[in-house]
């Protein structure tokens, strides 16, 4: 493919990313208004770089004619949450949406990767309206906490910079850092649970007082 062909090929993916970002950002403000708390902290999106598409197609042995079905994360959306429990809630909202179809899910939170990577991935099929008619594209939605995102962003940039040459010791320390992020997420969740319970018992007490 020359650069003009790549431009045409990537257009529906760019459209999908832009539309999905708007939709999830809207979901964030809607939930904030309705429930005064949104499980979505912020949303980002990107179209995979051509060099990364080529690397992945080589690694997975996907022929150029089958990129649309063989590479599932050309369009990527990332949803960041404050707490681990929020991830399940966001995934459930996505499953009930009528404007996309969930193809399958990868739970890298329960089954975290060897690198230490944690996130919940959903592969979706999303219809975009183009001048040539409707086109279904695959997209990957990654849902993760702020701590998981902090770890993944730094690990990704170190891996990108050092490629395969990351020293073993650094890899080990990155794994340890992933554990620390996991502990941090659990601690934040339990602090939150305690606050919620304290608020509930305070509300219950004031209800009793007002009935006296």
Token pair of 120, please?
């919940």
Each residue 128-167 as x (binds ligand 0O2 by CB under 6 A) or -, in order, gives ------------x-----------x--xx-----------
- Binding positions for ligand 0O2, 28-87, rule CB under 6 A: 48, 52, 73, 76
Find the helix or strand (DSSP H, E) in which 104 lies: strand 101-107
Q: What is the CA radius of gyration of the chain?
A: 21
What's the full length of the chain, in residues? 212
Which is nearer to ligand 0O2, 38 or 174 (by Cβ)?
174
Total residues binding ligand 0O2 (CB under 6 A): 13
Using CB under 6 A, pick the residue from 113, 172, 173, 176 that binds ligand 0O2: 113
By CB under 6 A, is residue 172 in contact with ligand 0O2? no
Please answer whether residues 117 and 152 qualify as being in contact, where contact means their C-beta atoms are separated by less than 8 angstroms.
yes
| 105 labelled catalytic | no
Please answer whether residues 186 and 84 qualify as being in contact, where contact means their C-beta atoms are separated by less than 8 angstroms.
yes
Share in percent of the chain as helix, strand, coil (round to 5): 60, 20, 20
β-bridge partners, 123: 104, 140
Q: Which of 30, 140, 155, 203 is catalytic?
A: 140
β-bridge partners, 112: none
Which is nearer to ligand 0O2, 82 or 149 (by Cβ)?
149
Q: Starting from the edge strand earliest in sequence, which strands make up the sheet with 120-130, in order?
A: 42-47, 75-81, 133-145, 120-130, 101-107
Least distance to ligand 0O2, CB of residue 108, Å: 7
Least distance to ligand 0O2, CB of residue 75, Å: 11
- Binding positions for ligand 0O2, 91-110, rule CB under 6 A: 106
Catalytic residues, which ones? Answer: 140
In the complex, which residues of this chain contact ligand 0O2 (CB under 6 A)?
48, 52, 73, 76, 106, 113, 115, 117, 121, 140, 152, 155-156
């Amino acid at each position: 493919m020359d650069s003009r062909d790549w431009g045409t090929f990537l257009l529906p993916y760019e459209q999908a990313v832009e539309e999905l970002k708007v939709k999830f950002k809207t979901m964030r403000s809607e939930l904030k208004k309705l429930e005064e708390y949104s499980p979505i902290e912020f949303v980002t999106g990107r179209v995979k770089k051509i060099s990364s598409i080529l690397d992945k197609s080589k690694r997975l042995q996907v022929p150029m004619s089958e990129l649309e079905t063989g590479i599932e994360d050309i369009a990527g959306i990332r949803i960041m949450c404050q707490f681990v429990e929020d991830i399940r809630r966001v995934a459930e909202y996505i499953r009930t949406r009528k404007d996309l179809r969930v193809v399958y899910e990868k739970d890298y939170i329960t089954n975290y990767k060897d690198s230490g990577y944690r996130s919940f991935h959903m592969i979706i099929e999303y219809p975009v309206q183009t001048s040539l008619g409707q086109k279904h594209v695959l997209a990957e939605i990654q849902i993760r906490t702020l701590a998981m995102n902090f770890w993944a962003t730094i690990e990704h940039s170190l891996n990108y910079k050092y490629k395969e040459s990351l020293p073993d010791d650094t890899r080990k320390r990155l794994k340890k850092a992933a554990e620390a992020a996991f502990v941090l997420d659990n601690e934040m969740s339990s602090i939150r649970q305690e606050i919620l319970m304290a608020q509930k018992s305070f509300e219950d007490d004031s209800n009793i007082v007002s009935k006296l």
